[in-house]
Amino acid sequence: MEYEKKKIVIVGGGFGGIELAKKLNDRHVDVVILDKHNYHTFQPLLYQVATGGLEADSIAFPIRKIFKGQKNLKFRVTEVKKVKPQEHILETSIGEVSYDYLVIATGSTSNFFGQTEISQNAMPMKSIPEALNLRSLILQNLEAALIAKDPTVEAELLNFVVVGGGPTGVETAGAIAELKKHVLKNDYPELDLNKVNIYLIEGSPELLGAMSVQAQQKSRKFLEELGVTVFTEARVQAYDGKTLSLVDGRNIGSATVIWSAGVKGVVLDGLNTDMVVRGNRLKVNGINQVEGYDNIFAIGDVAAMITEETPNGHPGVAPAAIQQGKQLAKNLINLIENKPTEQFKYFDKGAMATVGRNRAVVDINKIRFQGVFAWFTWMFVHLMTLVGFRNKLVVFVNWVWSYFSYDRGTRLIIRPFKPYKEYKKPHDIQES
């Protein structure tokens, strides 16, 4: 090669970071991936882990195994603490890491919009530890409800509230409703199922705001058929661990509030805060270059490519991150070889959401369909997107078993979860 070998450091082993690193295989560069976990998480199915449908290891895949045989790549488990742009160095928990090109693919985390009390008491679901915490809490509250003496406490334990009417919220509410309908009657025969209530709270007028009117209406109908109480144009004011208060004055007693009302990008310390825009995302140009920096890039949920066509940036979904990762790999090599770069263009493959057994909504361009066929389409797409043949097989077998048996096999409290309101000392807080 005529040019000096460059070092490309990728922070984050999500969809974008993984795709970028794959496309740099056999190129004259050194690639380093940094992530605080040693596995890639298939986030679209986290809600199934949380509701006992899948075991955690079926939606996680070792990052080292993904890149088995890729000679120009190294992976390190570490937490990145700060970036020093002037020195081209990252401060991490395992020491300093230098780079020639830095790609920030850190994804997003739950956004509680500055409401500390809600963040302490509501349950987020953006990682496998959080999903496992939620699974434990749901099962613990069902067990506690069986021995509750106070009717008010019993009601709190049996009221499940999902905040946020996007795909994650709709799918989670549907999964809990399926749990009530098919599983609880067998696992908890002494439990009065009429006392188990599921609520879905959405601040805008419709569910699935980014999808078609048909999908919005049908998803609500599906949820209501499953017994979910849907509140739209309802905003959460407070949640103290026992009572969820809405802005309009309504209150819901609940010990389980699941927060899927918003996300924000995970931005590294040390970058110019002027480049951070709405949603805590980094403003990037057409080649995913963070504005103000020559050798720092951002892809996926943490990147905001603001144009006339995308005034709010691209959607925080896996296809967008994957496509940006592929394009950036080409552009990084072009930059190194002093060749022209290509502007990123997002190909929207559509959107979909499942609402329980035989119920889903799918929008693919102008093609829109709902019901059983949409449900099979949703399953096929998610199976094909999963990383690793074993994971595809395990998830498929679990789904087939659940479909014919009306059962879910992973209702396990592996590690009991202690809600924030019960903590006695700060150091008792369980990490998630």
- The predicted pLDDT at position 432 comes to 35
> Is 224 known to be catalytic?
no
Residue that has been written with the tokens 């609880």 in this structure: 184
> Three-class SS string for the chain?
CCCCCEEEEEECCCHHHHHHHHHCCCCCEEEEEEECCCEEECHHHHHHHHCCCCCHHHCEEEHHHHCCCCCCEEEEECCEEEEECCCCEEEECCEEEECCEEEECCCEEECCCCCHHHHHHCECCCCHHHHHHHHHHHHHHHHHHHHCCCHHHHHHHHEEEEECCCHHHHHHHHHHHHHHHHHHHHHCCCCCHHHCEEEEECCCCCCCCCCCHHHHHHHHHHHHHCCEEEECCCCEEEECCCEEEECCCCEEECCEEEECCCEEECCCCCCCHHHEECCCEEEECCCCEECCCCCEEECHHHEEECCCCCCCCCCCCHHHHHHHHHHHHHHHHHHHCCCCCCCCCCCCCCEEEECCCCCEEEEECCEEEECHHHHHHHHHHHHHHCCCHHHHHHHHHHHHHHHHHCCCCCCCCCCCCCCHHHCCCHHHCCCC
Q: Who contacts 214 (Cβ-Cβ below 8 Å, separation ≥6)?
A: 361, 368, 370
69: left (phi over 0), alpha (psi -120 to 50) or beta: left
CATH number of this structure's domain 116-261+357-418: 3.50.50.100
Q: What is the β-pairing status of strands 197-201 and 159-163? A: parallel
Whether the CB-CB separation of 313 and 339 falls below 8 Å is answered with no
- The predicted pLDDT at position 421 comes to 61
The active-site residue, picked from 171, 178, 233, 422, is: 171
Low-confidence ranges of the chain (pLDDT < 70): 1-3, 420-432
- The predicted pLDDT at position 365 comes to 87
- The predicted pLDDT at position 1 comes to 47
Quote the Cα angle for 316-113-431, to 5°.
Answer: 80
CATH 3.50.50.60 domain residues, the chain: 6-36+78-110+263-336
The per-residue pLDDT for range 19-63, each reduced to its tens digit, is: 999 999 999 999 999 999 999 999 999 999 999 999 999 999 999
Residue that has been written with the tokens 């006992």 in this structure: 52
We find that the CATH architecture of domain 6-36+78-110+263-336 is 3-Layer(bba) Sandwich (3.50)
pTM of the model: 0.92
Whether the CB-CB separation of 34 and 78 falls below 8 Å is answered with yes
CATH 3.50.50.100 domain residues, the chain: 116-261+357-418
- Say how many CA atoms lie within 13 Å of 144 toward its Cβ: 20
Whether the CB-CB separation of 273 and 290 falls below 8 Å is answered with no
